[in-house]
């Protein structure tokens, strides 16, 4: 089946998806222009970059909560606009919109389903994606996952830079590990570490050691943020029994809950984060001891780790949803039937019989799970938008029962999405283990079709098709 045929089989044709994307982005731009709430964080970036810090803490470095490399786009934009607030806000959101649009057309060329998902996800997330810096590392991780299938070394470098621009991608490095005696393992890890060291050296030389480590020390002082998964029981309890808990803005500039049980839940968060780290280390050790690495299982591992980091964290800011949205879009590309059938020279090993089966079959099996994950993720992003900004005042001023209910639904859904992702990741990981570690190419055997036969040419790393005699 050809590329065109498969793409045409997508839910919507290309023209309608482009029109939907344009409409969604127009609405988001309108919100960014006419709704002041959306400019809060960009104004914070701007003022702390060109003027005296807002609400300075004792001895605090401006924007110390952000890795220095993560602010390079802000500084680049300021170099263009100077001390002009409105121009900065326009260029900042325009830059993120441009990145998202480029990503959209990348998806559209490969999978209509993926492009449609990114359109729906962008609509659900709303202006939060274009008024925070988090879209950049989210896209970097997504591009890293895509590059795993063709250029693993480049993927490792991209992941290293993503880790230095926002701390959480560093946890994904466990997915780069292959068996101990494979040079690819050490090449990927060396590339990842080398990129981090290079970016860290630039930060040290230009901004000093304190600025290099400030994002790590900043996180230690944070309490239980009201939107976090673990805060949900207390938020619901506070809505039912007013007076026992109170919500206040902390020095970390986020709203946190205080009262009975908070310290215990912060401890639980620490335990869960440790469990997340152990999951990553366990995955790396498994790959290190057994020949079982594959780009498919690694990309799924990325998704599981990102979701685990979100649900186990004591902070869940609304922009965190854009951490996994782009990654899931890439997974739709790589695991969907249309993508699999478009890559006829990249067969997939059957985990039962060690034979190559038609790629579409494997794609269909994966799509059974992924078909649920994208829909649920769009709903989770939409509920996040309802939480912030629409019911946020009701949340931190009450909390009101309706705001608490919406938050609880969003967080329960996030836990379920994480469960589905882990389930799919483990299944794919076990399949790779049984297969003996296919790597990026897989075990290639002769495939037969009704009218032709194919054989693999190792010298050219491709299939040659010999026409069978006509009967």
pLDDT at 464: 47
Q: What are the CA-CA distances from residue 110 to residues 105, 175, 326, 329, 403 (Å)?
A: 9, 24, 14, 11, 39
Mean pLDDT along residues 351-361: 35
Task: For residue 84, give both structure tokens.
Answer: 């002009």
Which positions ≥6 away from 357 have C-beta within 8 Å? Answer: 347, 348, 350
Mean pLDDT along residues 35-59: 73
52: pLDDT strictly greater than 50 = yes
Categorize the per-residue pLDDT at 106 as very low, low, confident or very high, splitting at 50, 70 and 90. Answer: very high
pLDDT at 222: 85
| Cβ burial 177-194 (10 Å sphere, 16+ → b, else e) | bbeeebebbeebbebbee
pLDDT at 73: 96
pLDDT at 325: 97
Can you tell me which residue has the tokens 């001895």? 59
Biggest CA–CA distance in the chain, Å, is 86
DSSP H stretches of helix in 292-398: 295-312, 325-335, 337-342, 359-370, 372-385, 392-397
Q: What is the pTM of this model?
A: 0.85
CA distance 321 to 304: 13
4: pLDDT strictly greater than 70 = no
Query: Strands, DSSP E only, in 189-322?
Result: 246-249, 255-258
CA distance 73 to 53: 19
Q: What are the CA-CA distances from residue 443 to residues 103, 356, 447, 448, 455 (Å)?
A: 31, 8, 12, 15, 13
| Cβ burial 12-49 (10 Å sphere, 16+ → b, else e) | eeeeebbebbeebbeebbebbeeeeebbebbbbbbbbb
User: Cis (ω within 30 of 0) for the bond into 389?
Assistant: yes
Distance between start and end Cα atoms, the chain: 23
Mean pLDDT along residues 374-381: 97
184: pLDDT strictly greater than 80 = yes
Q: Mean pLDDT, the chain, as a whole number?
A: 84
Categorize the per-residue pLDDT at 363 as very low, low, confident or very high, splitting at 50, 70 and 90. Answer: very low
Of the CA atoms within 13 Å of residue 359, those in its CB half-sphere come to 20
Comparing 10 with 168, the larger pLDDT belongs to 168
pLDDT at 430: 87
CB 363 within 8 A of CB 335: yes
Could you report the per-residue pLDDT of 268-319, keeping only the tens digit for each?
999 999 999 999 999 999 999 998 899 999 999 999 999 999 999 999 999 9
CA distance 165 to 175: 19
């Amino acid at each position: 089946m050809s590329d065109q045929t498969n793409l045409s089989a997508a839910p919507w044709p290309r023209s309608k998806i482009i029109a939907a994307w344009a409409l969604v982005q127009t609405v988001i731009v309108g919100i960014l222009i006419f709704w002041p709430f959306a400019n809060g964080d960009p104004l914070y970036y701007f003022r702390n970059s060109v003027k005296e810090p807002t609400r300075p803490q004792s001895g605090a470095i401006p924007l110390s909560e952000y890795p220095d490399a993560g602010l390079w786009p802000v500084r680049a934009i300021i170099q263009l606009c100077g001390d002009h607030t409105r121009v900065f806000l326009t260029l900042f959101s325009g830059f993120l919109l441009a990145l998202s649009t480029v990503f959209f057309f990348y998806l559209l060329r490969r999978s209509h389903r993926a492009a449609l998902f990114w359109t729906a996800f962008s609509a659900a997330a709303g202006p939060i994606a274009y008024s925070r810096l988090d879209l950049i590392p989210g896209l970097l991780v997504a591009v890293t996952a895509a590059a795993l299938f063709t250029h693993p070394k480049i993927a490792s470098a991209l992941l290293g830079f993503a880790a230095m621009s926002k701390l959480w991608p560093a946890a994904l490095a466990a997915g780069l590990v292959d068996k101990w005696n494979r040079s690819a393992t050490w090449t990927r890890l060396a590339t990842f570490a080398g990129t981090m060291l290079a970016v860290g050296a630039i930060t040290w030389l230009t901004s000093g050691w304190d600025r290099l480590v400030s994002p790590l020390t900043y996180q230690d002082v944070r309490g239980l943020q009201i939107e976090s998964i673990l805060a949900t029981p207390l938020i619901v309890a506070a809505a039912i029994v007013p007076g026992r808990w109170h919500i206040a803005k902390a020095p970390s500039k986020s709203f946190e809950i205080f009262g009975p049980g908070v310290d215990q839940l912060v401890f639980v968060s620490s335990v869960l984060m440790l469990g997340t780290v152990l999951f990553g280390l366990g995955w790396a050790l498994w790959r290190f001891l057994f020949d079982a690495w594959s780009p498919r299982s690694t990309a799924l591992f990325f998704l599981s780790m990102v979701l685990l980091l979100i649900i186990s964290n004591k902070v869940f800011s609304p922009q965190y949803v854009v951490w996994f949205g782009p990654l899931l879009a890439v997974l739709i590309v790589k695991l969907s039937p249309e993508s699999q059938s478009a890559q006829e020279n990249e067969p997939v090993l059957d985990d039962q019989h060690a034979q190559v089966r038609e790629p579409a079959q494997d794609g269909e099996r994966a799509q059974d799970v992924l078909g649920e994950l994208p829909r649920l993720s769009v709903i989770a992003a939409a509920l996040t938008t309802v939480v912030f900004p629409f019911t946020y005042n009701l949340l931190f001023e009450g909390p009101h029962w309706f705001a608490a209910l919406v938050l609880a639904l969003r967080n329960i859904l996030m836990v379920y999405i994480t469960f589905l992702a882990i389930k799919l990741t483990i299944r794919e990981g076990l399949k790779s283990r049984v297969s003996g570690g296919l790597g990026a190419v897989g075990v290639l055997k002769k495939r037969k079709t009704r009218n032709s036969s194919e054989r693999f040419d190792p010298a050219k790393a491709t299939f040659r098709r010999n026409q069978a005699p006509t009967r």
